[in-house]
Structure 1
Amino acid sequence: MSPAPSSASRRSLPGRLHGHFIGTYGLLALTVLLFLLFSLVLPDTFPTRDNVSSILSNQSIPAVMALGATIPIASGKFDLSIGYALGLAHVLVLYLIVDAGWPWPLACLTVVLGGTLAGAVNGVVVEFARIDSFIATLGTGSMMYAVTGWITEGSRIVPGPDGLPAAFTGLYDSRFLGLPLPAFYVLGLVAVLWLMLERLPFGRYLYVIGSNPRAAEIIGIPTHRYCVYAFAGSGTVVGFAGVLLAAQQQIGNPSVGLDYLLPAFVGVLLGSTTIKPGRANALGTLVAVTVLAVGLAGIGQLGADFWATPLFNGGTLLIAVGLAGYAARRRLRAGAKATGAPPAKQPAAAAGDDGGDAP
């Protein structure tokens, strides 16, 4: 028979359960509380169907970008080129449709596949040239920005008097079941990434690589190949985001992509503190993007100045990184107490509860 739990263990059980609930669902509860708070303060404008629809529509592209960034972060890598890639993708779509006269479905498919290729190149540079992902993707992103400037010659791409095909702009403007169509793109992408990261070997391999690349190599995981896959997947998602941005903006602006870089990383890092604390996960990213969307919509309706948005995003990023580091240290201390061993030094990529988690 197994020994009965000690009185100390019994006393600590409610605390552990409470801490687990807060860590897993605290951000989701915060989303609900923020929505209720703004609804009380702004009863005539905030808790309305039009406002909810506006939030879902306006935040769809940041959500797609955050989900794209989630994939390489699961493997312990950061892709700083996604902002530049978004700008290039949306400009290239409009260039192919407006200037080159391509059919819009072919132009969209070409850009998405081009995003996959660009992501794979990022992965090859990081893994086989042995360049840190921050530096490598910053360099490739600058090159993408140069290509964007070359295509546009520093000016905007403006459609002719007939405008863009209605079917193309409908990718963003259409509605389904009374809600903006882009919201369903986000939900579909979340479902696909959840399946890939949580239920398929691909995701498990990425989490092991993000936690301990050396151990991943020892047990036979082809780390280089899967990291290239992760960057290629991110590039595919960013290419799709570029198509949506082109359908939304309907004008090619060569500098617009960088505006989405910080919100994407805020969403991923904040999302790694919830649902599956300690690792980048699709559901957590969705919750984080939601709380950011509600917060930004609320302060916007309260009449905040234009600088409130970057202030909110930057402050939230610092809080997200701080919470992630604090949670990782608590897990290490809890594990050391359970085994009686001294706490291990926290790795750069914090391990999760099952040994296969990325930052």
Structure 2
Amino acid sequence: MLTSEVVRRRLAAGHFIGGYGLPALALVLFVVFALALPDTFPTMANLTAIISAYSIIAILAQGAMIPIVTGNFDLSIGYGLGLGHVMTLHLVVNAGRPWHEACLAVLAGGVAVGMINGFLVEFARIDSFIATLGTGSVMYAVTGWVTGGARIVAGPQGLPAGLTGLYESRILNLPVAAFYVLVLTAVLWIVLERLALGRYLYVIGSNPRAAELVGIPVRRYVILAFAGSGLVTGFAGILLAAQQQIGNPSVGLDHLLPAFVAALLGSTTIKPGRANPWGTVVAVAVLAIGLSGISQMGADFWVTPLFDGITLLIAVGLAGYSARRRTRARPAPEREAPNEEQT
């Protein structure tokens, strides 16, 4: 029979592994690929390439993470990313609007779409999967209507330097997009972990009925969560426009699966059992290191979607296990001792 001390140590070890196993995996993957590819993988050029390739996915993953905190899913983020980047280029190239006005319009549009998603989920009582898939399909149609199914290409003068500089600038010799990821993650961490708003969102995600009973306006905060997701998605669309510099009607869908994989996988680390910003960043790092390594080792093109799909299944399974483990770890409420009248 196990003693209480042994059980306590095993629980502590399990908590440590659950909380920091994913960062350890990222480190192990980096070491393995660095040893296997010493001339190309552990280089500054490769690090910069990884950051450039996965910064937008990391930002989009943070957008996906926000509704997950409330127990909902926003499948429209991939379509929103595509529409955001197309509308940015359309307003600048075709409509001749200043780039900063185009960016503000896209951000406002992202918030509006997020609020529509929230209203559909909370007032129309449509499941978040169905509601956001429907709005995503509408956004994909709007993207096709705006572009006519063709790419948006800037003229000989190119795009404004201010717009392209949003992605191409460097700080400390690193792509500026890396700092966008860090700032966004820090802001979301403060909101979710240090403000009452974040506590309300976590309570809603854990038990919406209990949140209502204690006076939390569930509908208002769920709509706010979807609006936040739309805002972040719009920002990611602007960065994608600055990166691609060509409006592609279908490019957003390529980012949907990796973003969701990262958001779900991130809920298994740092704060196991619940979605959290730093865990999402760690999950993106695991995906980026793994995919970069296997690509440099000569993997075929189909390995990337295979890797994403398998990782998504693992992430969903681990997220569910972490949530159940966290629930079992909660102390059971003590029963009141019967009084004399009851006896």
TM-score bracket for this pair, using the shorter chain length? over 0.9
| C-alpha distance in structure 1 between counterparts of 2:229 and 2:181, whole Å | 14
| C-alpha distance in structure 2 between counterparts of 1:257 and 1:10, whole Å | 52
1:202 aligns to 2:192 (yes or no): no
2:133 aligns with 138
Q: CA deviation at 1:153?
A: 0.8
1:11 aligns to 2:6 (yes or no): yes
| C-alpha distance in structure 2 between counterparts of 1:276 and 1:158, whole Å | 44
1:68 aligns to 2:66 (yes or no): no
Q: CA deviation at 1:224?
A: 0.2
| C-alpha distance in structure 1 between counterparts of 2:110 and 2:28, whole Å | 38
State the one-letter code of the partner of 1:238: T
| C-alpha distance in structure 2 between counterparts of 1:76 and 1:229, whole Å | 13
1:270 aligns to 2:265 (yes or no): yes
1:174 aligns with 169
Give the unaligned 5+ runs of structure 1.
1-5, 342-359
Q: How does 1:7-156 map to 2 (within 5 A)?
A: 8-156=3-151
Q: CA deviation at 1:57?
A: 1.0
Partner of 1:198, secondary structure, is: helix
- Alignment RMSD (CA, Å): 1.5
Q: Deviations over 1:243-288 (max 9, x none)?
A: 0000010000011111111011100100000000000000100100
State the one-letter code of the partner of 2:20: Y
| C-alpha distance in structure 1 between counterparts of 2:124 and 2:6, whole Å | 52
* Range with greater deviation from structure 2 (310-319 or 8-17): 8-17
Q: TM-score, normalised by structure 2?
A: 0.95
| C-alpha distance in structure 1 between counterparts of 2:283 and 2:334, whole Å | 35
Q: CA deviation at 1:327?
A: 2.5
Q: CA deviation at 1:325?
A: 2.0
1:298 aligns to 2:293 (yes or no): yes
Q: How does 1:138-287 map to 2 (within 5 A)?
A: 138-287=133-282
| C-alpha distance in structure 1 between counterparts of 2:44 and 2:260, whole Å | 28
Partner of 2:320, secondary structure, is: helix
1:353 aligns with none
Partner of 1:59, secondary structure, is: helix
| C-alpha distance in structure 1 between counterparts of 2:261 and 2:48, whole Å | 22
Q: CA deviation at 1:333?
A: 4.2
Give the unaligned 5+ runs of structure 2.
336-343
Q: Deviations over 1:121-159 (max 9, x none)?
A: 111111111110000011111111111111111111111
| C-alpha distance in structure 2 between counterparts of 1:224 and 1:328, whole Å | 23
Partner of 1:274, secondary structure, is: coil
| C-alpha distance in structure 2 between counterparts of 1:7 and 1:32, whole Å | 34
1:357 aligns with none
Q: How many residues align?
A: 335
